[in-house]
């Protein structure tokens, strides 16, 4: 578990050139879930990404708290939880208890985003906000200094295996400019269609962390795939 928000801020400042990878469990083989988690443990990935979908905000249902609770005792990496659900503020405490280290909510589902971010931090988790492909960066101007991470969706959320939306690169650049302008320590995370063909361009545009599902879990050598993404 993370030692607190101060430690995360230190990481942001001292490792600005680090390439972080957060493999998405959504693409894993759930008949071998323990083995998949152990593979992540032995890899160079820093985090494990968990997409929580409710079938309301996005047109898919994934998994919930019992899965997090079952893998937390064996997972040695940080648990990076992405809530693609309506009313995420109702479940902040529950995801903390399930073992989440990082909790990301969608701008589109939070009418009181500042309050939600503050509540996540009060529960000693890092607070992230995610934007769908159509949502402009400018909407984060009043909150960017408060968040630890911004997750840009580079596909329409709901299903894995989609094609990367190329305009995301320009969006990353705009977000990086906003972060610098507001003197924020927020990391930039990209989720959707990420693989070895676009990883380098994303890092160059300003991304800090790449979420990869199929590109990792369905690779012939997942460990090598993670290394290739980190070294892109």
Does residue 9 surpass a pLDDT of 90?
A: no
Per-residue pLDDT of 81-92, as tens digits, reads 999 999 999 999
What are the backbone angles phi and psi of residue 223, rounded to the nearest 5°? -60, -45
First-to-last alpha carbon distance for the chain, in angstroms, is 27
| pLDDT at 161 (0 to 100) | 66
- Helix (H/G/I), strand (E/B), else coil: 117: helix
| pLDDT at 15 (0 to 100) | 46
**Residues identified as active-site:** 51, 191
| pLDDT at 18 (0 to 100) | 76
| pLDDT at 160 (0 to 100) | 66
Q: Minimal CA–CA distance to 223: which of 18, 51, 71, 41?
A: 41
| pLDDT at 157 (0 to 100) | 80
| pLDDT at 1 (0 to 100) | 39
How many whole angstroms separate alpha carbon 22 and alpha carbon 52?
15
Cα 103 versus chain centre, distance: 8
| pLDDT at 35 (0 to 100) | 98
Per-residue pLDDT of 152-169, as tens digits, reads 999 988 676 678 999 999
**pLDDT-wise least confident of 21-30, 104-113, 149-158:** 149-158
All domains in the chain, ordered by first residue:
5-230 (3.20.20.70)
Q: Minimal CA–CA distance to 152: which of 167, 136, 131, 138?
A: 131
Q: Which DSSP category does 54 fall into?
A: B
């Amino acid at each position: 578990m993370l030692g607190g928000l101060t430690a995360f801020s230190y990481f942001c400042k001292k490792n600005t050139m680090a390439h972080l990878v957060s493999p998405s469990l959504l693409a894993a083989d759930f008949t071998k879930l323990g083995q998949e988690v152990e593979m992540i443990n032995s890899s160079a990935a820093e985090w494990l990404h968990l997409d929580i979908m409710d079938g309301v905000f996005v047109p898919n249902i994934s998994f919930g708290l019992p899965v997090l609770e079952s893998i937390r005792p064996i997972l040695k990496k940080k648990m990076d939880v992405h809530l693609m659900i309506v009313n995420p503020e109702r479940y902040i405490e529950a995801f903390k208890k399930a073992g989440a280290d990082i909790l990301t909510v969608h701008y589109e589902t939070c009418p009181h985003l500042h309050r939600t971010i503050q509540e996540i931090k009060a529960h000693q988790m890092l607070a992230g906000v995610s934007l769908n492909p159509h949502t402009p960066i400018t909407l984060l101007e009043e909150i960017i200094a408060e968040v630890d991470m911004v997750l840009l969706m580079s596909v329409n959320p709901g299903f894995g295996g989609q094609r990367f939306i190329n305009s995301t690169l320009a969006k990353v650049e705009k977000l990086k400019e906003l972060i610098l302008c507001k003197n924020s320590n927020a990391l930039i995370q990209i989720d959707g269609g990420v693989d070895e063909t676009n990883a380098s361009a994303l890092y160059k545009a300003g991304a800090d962390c790449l979420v990869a599902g199929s590109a990792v879990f369905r690779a012939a050598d997942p460990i090598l795939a993670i290394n290739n993404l980190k070294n892109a």
